[in-house]
Chains A and B, each alone.
Chain A
Amino acid sequence: MSELNELYQQVILDHNKNPRNYGALKPCTHFSEGFNPLCGDHFDIYAVMDGDTIKDISFEGSGCAISKSSASIMTSLVKGKTKAEAETMIEQFQDLVTMPMDQQPDEDKLGKLAVFAGVREFPARIKCASLAWHTLKAAIEQQPKAISTE
């Protein structure tokens, strides 16, 4: 069960059960829809940007524990951050989940993101973890169309 425990850490289970920043944010300045056609996961990301700052952000939709907790953790992390900071985080996240298993992620730098290191053991689930982040990228870069991780 150890790899499973790595994947489904308490933080992830908690965010899955009690997602933060959940629900539509209306009106908002930025919005994007994310789909994972393979498993039917679907999340909308709403953001209110004040200049370059993400003043408020929320998500709504349905998906597995990995995709949902990832969206929930993401929204808590980027709220109040600048667009550039959020983009760095998106990159860090992507690097983390695609990093080879024998490489140790820098937990100090990653902070809360590090809980997703366990996803690497489950290649089929990397897309689940990434969905919200891809969608955030599309939202803040103002490409207001549905994107997918396929």
Chain B
Amino acid sequence: MNALKESMQAFDINSIRKDFPILNETVHGKTLVYLDNAATTQKPEQVIEAMNAYYRHTNSNIHRGVHLLSEKATQQYEEARKKVARFIGAPKTQEIIFTRGTTDAINLLAASFGKKHIQAGDEILISAMEHHSNIVPWQMMCEERKAVLKVVPIDDDGSLNMEAFEQLLSEKTKLVAIVHVSNSLGTINPVKDIIQKAHAKNIPVLLDGAQAVQHLPVNVQELDCDFYAFSGHKLFGPTGVGVLYGKESWLKDLPPYQGGGDMILNVTFEKTTYNELPYKFEAGTPAIAEVIGLGAAIDYISGIGMKQIETRESELLAYAMKRIAAIPRVTIIGTAAHKSSVVSFVVDGVHPHDMGTILDREGIAIRTGHHCTQPVMKRFGIPATSRVSLAFYNTEEELDTCVKAIEKAIQLFV
């Protein structure tokens, strides 16, 4: 208890908020209250500065030139890869592939894994709470290869139905692709259990970590997942960069996704030899400044500590859940026992779209709609929700402002 208290004292919210210049913006004449962190997170000065410094002092192409700037850029780019590997506990640096984001990472895996391992009649197992980016790439691949997409249902509280999961794991299942933390419900899935059960049948597992890495400590070795995907921009880094982690034992035999420069060792018109890992999967000039920015973001949050962030956010989430649930006419969608930083809700008599407009005029940014999870909306029989999503820089005061605005909207419409 004392240790916890001490660690919470070290979490200096005022100095943290100063690191994020955008938190001082005014929106419609009001101080910005940014509660749309599941869509994208804000960037600390350190990230903005790292990218700025790269363009001012180091900009050049990587893995090519013998000149000093190219060497420096290559070194910074590869340094960022090491940071990512350490951050998620990957045993080997070459298991980290830079992509454009989570969507790109999943498309890479679906195309490459599909080509190598999927035959007609094989099954891919996903869940009913997946983001469209962990549905559509599998659907496309299944269609092409005449494979079958199977879906684990969710319970009324927004948790995964584990009984159904076990029943759906079959001899035909070739891959399980499951979201670590749901972006529309906030559910933290029992991924360790999922992985153990899949591995017991020799089935590899991809985790979509787009909503997990910024909220909880993630260690891919402890989880023993085979693949892990996430986006830089949801981790306080820039857009345009993401990561696919894969166990070397899987990645080394998978065919490349795209062809081009950097992914080759030798090219003749007769035959091309592919480069080693991870370059085999990184065709063309990558988003160098963005990768460096992602490295800076990882340095920044590692400085605070993921454990600290998790602890602070669980306090914030508990407060948000309590305050929002207490508003008359409000129903929270997603009440699983294990939840992270998302409060999705509907209000009897107020459409989410109108809620979003009213809150916006109060300076409050939330997301309204289906959150790229239309099957989740269908499951709960609603067209859309309003979603408050948190980051460690949010405060109880901001949530109070938000609750007041929600009450105001209800007054207007009901």
Chain A interface residues (CB < 8 Å from chain B): 1, 3-4, 7-8, 13, 16-17, 38-42, 62-66, 68, 122, 124-125, 128
Report the 8 A-B pairs with minimum CB-CB distance, sorted nearest first: A40-B383, A64-B353, A64-B351, A65-B354, A40-B384, A64-B354, A39-B353, A4-B361
Contacts of B354 on A, CB cut-off 8 Å? 8, 64-66
Mask: chain B, 347-390; 1 = CB below 8 Å from A; 0 = not: 00111111001100100000011100010010000011000000
Contacts of B384 in A (CB 8 A): 39-40
Known A8-B354, A16-B413, A63-B351; 5 more pairs at CB < 8 Å: A17-B413, A39-B384, A64-B351, A64-B352, A65-B413
Provide the bound-state CA to CA distance between A128 and B384, in Å. Answer: 14
Inter-subunit contact A40/B369 (CB<8 Å): yes
Bound form: Cα–Cα A42–B383 in Å: 9
Within the complex, the shortest CB–CB distance from B117 to chain A, in Å, comes to 33
> In the assembly, what is the distance between CA of A125 and CA of B358, in Å?
12
- Residue B3, interface by CB 8 Å: no
In the complex, whether B337 has a CB less than 8 A from a CB of chain A is no
Smallest CB separation, B295 vs chain A (Å): 35
Instruction: State whether A62 touches B413 (Cβ < 8 A).
Output: no
Q: Which residues of A contact B413 (CB under 8 A)?
A: 8, 13, 16-17, 65
Decide if B353 touches A13 in the complex (CB within 8 Å): no
14 contacts between A and B (CB under 8 A): A1-B361, A13-B413, A38-B369, A39-B353, A39-B384, A40-B370, A40-B383, A41-B353, A64-B353, A64-B354, A65-B350, A66-B354, A124-B357, A125-B353
The one of B350, B361, B374 that contacts A3, using a Cβ cutoff of 8 Å:
B361
Chain B binding surface SS class: helix
- Which of A38, A41, A64, A68 has the most chain B CB atoms inside 10 A of its CB? A64
Interface size on B, residues (CB 8 A): 18
CB distance from B26 to the nearest CB of A (A): 16
Closest to B350 in A: A65
- Once bound together, how far apart are the Cα atoms of A3 and B358, in whole Å? 10
Q: Which residues of A contact B361 (CB under 8 A)?
A: 1, 3-4
CA distance A1 to B368 in the complex (A): 20
Residues of chain B lying within 8 A (CB to CB) of residue A122: 357
Q: Which residue of A lies closest to B382 (CB)?
A: A40
Distance A85 CA – B152 CA, assembled complex (angstroms): 52
Q: Are A62 and B412 in contact (CB under 8 A)?
A: no
Whether B377 and A40, one on each chain, are in contact in the complex, defined by CB atoms closer than 8 angstroms, is: yes
Residues of A within 8 A of B370 (CB): 40
Q: Measured between C-beta atoms, what is the minimum distance from B105 to chain A in Å?
A: 25
Instruction: Please name the residue on chain B nearest to A16 by beta carbon.
Output: B413
- Contact, CB under 8 Å: A13 / B383: no
Beyond A16-B413, A39-B368, A65-B413, is A128–B358 a contact (Cβ under 8 Å)?
no
Q: Specify the chain B residue showing the minimal Cβ separation from A40.
A: B383
Contacts of A13 in B (CB 8 A): 412-413
Point out the residue from B351, B368, B377, B383 that lies within 8 Å of A65, measured CB to CB.
B351
Identify the closest chain A residue to B414 (Cβ): A17
User: B residues 310-354 with Cβ under 8 Å of A?
Assistant: 349-354
